[in-house]
Every structure is written in structure tokens, then in C-alpha cells.
Structure 1
């Protein structure tokens, strides 16, 4: 009898403490507002625009307010570090890109490690392309490489640790030439139009006006698939100049978050992304949907940590 009483008391304490996916005293999660953290400035930021469309759909699904908060700084590292340190209770998630999750970590520029954050999944990619002036004597990467073997080619980019730059550097290695590269804190297609650079790595929506006006042309898409707006432009991988990487964005929570909460958040997030009104916003801002669940996202990150680690070592960016 005494043993049964002890077991019953223990079961009552466990129930009072709450099981997976519950709050204090067994309260169901969620029971307070959820915050989506964006590590970039709000102005014209695609992630912010899409997140603002997602938030009300998630709120209706989960039954609590969902708000978007921008916390820019440090190339997205500051907000990512804050997310990694936050309570693993499912009330804070972040939309983080490949840079602060992979390449910045590899360069030792972060106070956190990749495994400090758990993915809800990857959500979309920024459609970066390699572009040149319209009158450049090359139309694709093969012609670019042939030109670069006998002539200087000036590359304008965000920085050596940026994924678009790494893709461009790998393309040069495959093509047997070397860039004369310059990093710009304020990268702008006018650098190419005005003749300060020959080639630029840039998000395709930001190049559209220059392409349509006949001032610039696209040489290669930096995605696994072609950019929907420019289906005639082959990818870097299609042209045989590197792997099919992309500048992806994913949703993350602190690693210790309860798996049931991760599943609930992930389900609500992807249901919101599939909403027709959210799909319209995604199409308007120009990002490319690339949705994968938590497990597939983790597998991809592990693979890219290894791949980019090798590439950055080859390029002398890390030891």
C-alpha cells in the first residue's frame, strides 16, 4: 500500500510539473505571445515583409499573439547570439540565414556554435546571381573563365565570408582564373554600371531594373534551381562551376527547446507559409520558397559545415 501511495504521489508531481509541450502546472503551450526575431533592419527587408505576413496566420493557428521584432547588428550575429541564449520555451524564434549559421561560425566570428540552435526548418532562399554589364564580352561562366585567364576581372561583393562570394570564388577556382576582388559595406549594382567593377554578386530583385533597362546581364543563378523570374539563366552548378548551394533562410529556436514544442512551431510556421496570402507576399518580394523540415534542415547544415569548411580552408580564410 505504501509503495502504491509513493508512486501515486510521484505521478501527481510529474503531472503538476507538466509534460512535454506544456507550461507550468500542466498548462498547454502556448499561453503567452510568441516573438519572431529578425536580425536585419526592417527597411525593405524581404524576411521582415514575409514574417509580417506569416505572424497573423500563426497567431490564429496557435491562439496567441505573434509579433515580429527586428534586432539588426553584427551581420546578424548579435541577434542570433541572443536567440541562442534565450530561454528554450518556444516563445522566441528567429529567421536566420546561412551566413550567421554556417560561414560566420566556421570563421570563428560567433559566440555560439551551429548546434546551439535547433531548426524548425528552412523556409526560403534569396535568389542571388552573378551579374555583369550588358556589353561585357562574356555571357556565361565558361566565357567569363576564358576571359579571366587573360584579363583582370574585378569582383564586387559583400565580404570574403559571405556565401555568394564563396560561390564566386569557387567558380573562379574551377575556371582557372583569379578575381581582383573588393568587399563593399554598401554594395550596389551601380558599381558595375559605372565601370568600377566588372562582376557583382547581388540579389536578383535588386538587379531587375538594370537588366530590364539593358544595362546589365545575368551570368549565373546562385541557387539549386533557376530563378523563377529568369528561367533562361542557368545555375552555377548547371554550368559546371561548383555545387548547388543557396543563400537560404531558416527558422530556429534554442537547442534545448522541447521537441514537441519544436514540432508544433514548425507545423504552424509551414502552414502559415502555405497560406495563399503569404504566398503572394513571397512572390512579390522575390524570395524563392525552399521548405524543409527540422531533420532535413539539420542534415543540410551538417553537410554545408563540412563543405564550406573545406572551401574556406582552400581559399585561406580559415586554418
Structure 2
């Protein structure tokens, strides 16, 4: 009798599991069945924002379900990432994250989430990060900046100590003997930051300073990219000058436990959106590295960058 009761319990448990699995499959098959929010943890206007909006637009057009971008800056991007970490694993909230939010922000203890709270959908952007200065600055490259900083105060503007570009900039400055009198973190680093004298040099993306690059009010000292920028092929990369190879990327992430069919749907939408003429034009005009690396490739990249970030964080905490 006892064995029979246990068998009935086992059958009941298996039935529940089967039902839940079927319900999950139905939910995934209907995805999206509610409005979708793409969380960009930065103010509007930069590359990840523009490209994420292209992806959201494609999702709305393909599915007929509203998909919008919500800009949620604060805490060096941690506020927006936390929103995704606390969401339901149903694909209704999708994060558009820069690498730092999954590496240095976690390692430094600045985030209430862990890297394994998320699952990657794919990586789509290599940022055209640069170090820029006003056009009339008495230096045009890192070597000249190093010499100038020996006898003049130089103020650096960056996106926060947990940001990878910041760590790379300080590491390069150390190698080149560049001295900063002070530095400050900003949510935005644009033309006004330099024009107002808030910083002498800034670590930012070309998208943030395109107007003053086009007007030639700002010049680039170096790019933190895999290859030289299409829009500034005469400017060397940080790797060329210092040997430092790391760059910045951005990708799409969902809450851990999200159904694979949902992730596949998001990936298909993103891949198609990134092939549009508007995106190609953006790439040509800004030097952005736009591509699609699937979830498996993204996971490998994250693992490698996590290891590299540990070394950089150790360097920053010396």
C-alpha cells in the first residue's frame, strides 16, 4: 500500500513537471505576449542606446507588441542592470549591458547582483572609445600629453572607476608616465564637458562627441578599439601605443532562467535589426564595430573578460 502511495505521488510530481514544461513552451511560443522593455543603463544618445532602439523597433514591427527603450542611468550603470536582475525570467525586460556591468562592477562590490543572475542573448557592439581633448590643447597624442602633464595640471573625465575604459586609461597613463592632477566621474562625457572646462581630457565614445569632432573643436589622442576608427584612421589605437589590447563591448541580457525559445526570438530580432541600412550608416559615420556574437560566443567572451578584469581591478586597487 505504501509503495502504491509513493507511486501515485511520483506520477503526480511528473505530471506537474510536464504541465509546467508545456506551459513554459506555450508561453515561449507566444512571446512576446506583453510589452517589452529594453533597459539601457545610460542616458539616451550613445551607441548602445541608438542600436538598442533599432532592435526594439524591429521587435515591435515583427510581433505587433510594443517594445520600448527605457534609459535608467545611475551608479555607473548598476541601477539599470539591477532592474533586469530583479525582473521575471519571461523576456519582458531585456538589458543592454556594457562589459563592465558584468565584470568590474561585480568584483568591486558595487552591484547587488552577480554575473550569473543574467544569461547572454548576444553581443552586438564594439564601442569606439577614445581619449579626447579640445582642439587647441597643447598636445595631440599620449606622448605629448605625458610631457605636458609634468608641469601642468591635467583633469580627466571618465565614466567611473568601475568602468573598464577608466581602468585602461589609468593603466596606459601609468605606462606613459601621464600624471593627472584630478579626475571625476560623469554620466555623460560630451562636447560640453570639454567646452565648459569640466575636464581637460575625457574618456568617451565618438557618438558622444560627434558634433564637436565634425566642427573640429575636439581632437582624438588615441582610440581604445580593436582597429583604427574609420572616421579617424590617422589616430592610433591604445594597443599600438601601449600594447594594451582590451576593448569595450555591449550586449543583450535577460534574467537567468528565461526560456531558450524566448532568447532565440530576441536574438533573431536583434540580428535582423543590425543589418538595416540605418545601422550600417551609423557604423560608417561613428566607427562603431557592429556585429552579432551569439549566446555561446558571448559566454566565452564574458569568461575571458572577467579574468582580464580581475587583473585590471587588482591593478587599480594597488
What's the CA shift string for 1:198-234, capped at 9, x where partnerless? Answer: 3221221333343444433211111112222212211
Q: Alignment partner of 2:219: what SS?
A: strand
What is the CA-CA distance between 1:125 and the residue it aligns to? 3.3
Aligned mates of 2:198, 2:31 — CA distance in 1: 53
- In the TM superposition, 1:89-168 aligns within 5 A as 89-148=90-149, 152-168=153-169
Aligned residue for 1:3?
none
More helix, by proportion = 2
* Aligned partners of 2:125 and 2:288 also within 8 Å: yes
- In the TM superposition, 1:48-59 aligns within 5 A as 48-59=49-60
* Aligned partners of 2:128 and 2:286 also within 8 Å: no
What is the CA-CA distance between 1:89 and the residue it aligns to? 2.2
* Aligned partners of 2:155 and 2:181 also within 8 Å: yes
Aligned residue for 2:3?
none
Alignment pair present for 1:68 and 2:68: yes
* Aligned partners of 2:130 and 2:206 also within 8 Å: yes
Q: Alignment partner of 1:170: what SS?
A: helix
Which sections of structure 2, spanning at least 5 residues, go unmatched? 1-7
Q: Alignment partner of 1:237: what SS?
A: helix
* Aligned partners of 2:121 and 2:266 also within 8 Å: yes
Aligned mates of 2:242, 2:282 — CA distance in 1: 33
* Aligned partners of 1:133 and 1:199 also within 8 Å: yes
Aligned residue for 2:246?
244
Q: Alignment partner of 1:161: what SS?
A: coil
Q: Alignment partner of 2:313: what SS?
A: helix
Q: Alignment partner of 1:159: what SS?
A: coil
Aligned residue for 2:256?
255
Aligned mates of 2:208, 2:73 — CA distance in 1: 22
Aligned mates of 1:197, 1:9 — CA distance in 2: 66
Aligned residue for 1:204?
206
Q: Give the root-mean-square deviation of aligned CA atoms.
A: 3.4
User: What TM-score results when the alignment is normalised by the length of structure 1?
Assistant: 0.81
Deviates further, 77-86 or 178-187: 178-187
Aligned mates of 1:153, 1:55 — CA distance in 2: 41
Aligned residue for 1:22?
25
Aligned residue for 2:233?
231
User: What TM-score results when the alignment is normalised by the length of structure 2?
Assistant: 0.81
Q: Alignment partner of 1:120: what SS?
A: strand
Count matched residues.
310
Aligned mates of 1:249, 1:125 — CA distance in 2: 7
Alignment pair present for 1:300 and 2:276: no
Which sections of structure 1, spanning at least 5 residues, go unmatched? 1-5
- In the TM superposition, 1:33-52 aligns within 5 A as 33-40=34-41, 43-52=44-53
What is the CA-CA distance between 1:34 and the residue it aligns to? 4.9
* Aligned partners of 1:29 and 1:261 also within 8 Å: no
* Aligned partners of 2:94 and 2:252 also within 8 Å: yes
